[in-house]
């Protein structure tokens, strides 16, 4: 099977786990080699390029950032006009196959994001799985449908932005 266009799916609630943990899954096919795709993600500066402008995402950690297990990344962003900080840690780094990050400080009670890059016929299949949980249970559950829609929008934007940026390489 040969692919020549970018395509993918985003399922902002692929599963619900006990304790209010939700699972987001996204798949994106890119007609590029796995090393090239992983290299794009090795540059933390690209996070700003693949985040919707309305979030006003800004990396606070000075660039360039050497990505590896244990790297800490600090950001600022806005959600519905409210500014907040977010800190993540790279918990696994296995170029060009995968990496993972987790929120240390930020809006979620739990945020674990696994990124996997599979070599497939004609390019790379990029797989994302995010385990997320809102704070203030049970009150956070009221906001969960809205957050789920926002995450779906963000990951679809991300998929399309990556495709547009990497298509020019």
Contact 113, 130 (CB under 8 A): yes
| Domain presence at residue 1 | no
| Domain presence at residue 73 | yes
| Domain presence at residue 72 | yes
| Domain presence at residue 2 | no
Q: How does pLDDT run across 23-37, given as a tens digit for each residue?
A: 999 999 999 999 999
| Domain presence at residue 29 | yes
| Domain presence at residue 125 | yes
Lowest mean pLDDT among 14-23, 25-34, 37-46, 131-140: 131-140
* Three-state SS letters, the chain: CCCCCCEEEEEEEEEEEHHHEEEEEEEEEECCCHHHHHHHHHCCCHHHHCCCHHHCCEECCCCCCCCCCCCEEEEEEEECCEEEEEEEEEEEEECCCEEEEEEEECCCCEEEEEEEEEEECCEEEEEEEEEEECCCCCCHHHHHHHHHHHHHHHHHHHHHHHHHHHHCC
Q: How does pLDDT run across 41-73, given as a tens digit for each residue?
A: 999 999 999 999 999 999 999 999 999 999 999
User: What is the CATH number for 50?
Assistant: 3.30.530.20
Alpha-carbon gap, residue 152 to 161, rounded angstroms: 14
Q: What is the pTM of this model?
A: 0.90
Domain count, the chain: 1
| Domain presence at residue 64 | yes
**Residue-range definition of the domain harbouring residue 48:** 7-167
């Amino acid at each position: 099977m040969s692919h020549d266009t970018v395509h993918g799916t985003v399922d902002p609630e692929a599963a619900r786990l006990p304790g209010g943990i939700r699972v987001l899954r996204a798949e994106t096919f890119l007609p590029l080699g796995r090393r090239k795709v992983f290299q794009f993600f090795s540059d933390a500066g690209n996070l700003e390029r693949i985040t919707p402008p309305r979030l006003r995402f800004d990396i606070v950690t000075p660039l360039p950032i050497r990505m590896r297990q244990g790297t800490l990344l600090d950001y600022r962003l806005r959600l519905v006009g409210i500014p907040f900080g977010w800190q993540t840690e790279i918990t696994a780094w296995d170029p060009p196959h995968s990496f993972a990050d987790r929120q240390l400080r930020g809006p979620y009670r739990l945020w674990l994001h696994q990124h996997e890059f599979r070599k497939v016929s004609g390019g790379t299949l990029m797989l994302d799985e995010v385990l997320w949980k809102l704070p203030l249970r049970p009150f956070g559950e009221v906001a969960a449908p809205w957050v789920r829609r926002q995450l779906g929008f963000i990951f679809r934007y991300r998929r399309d932005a990556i495709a547009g940026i990497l298509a020019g390489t």
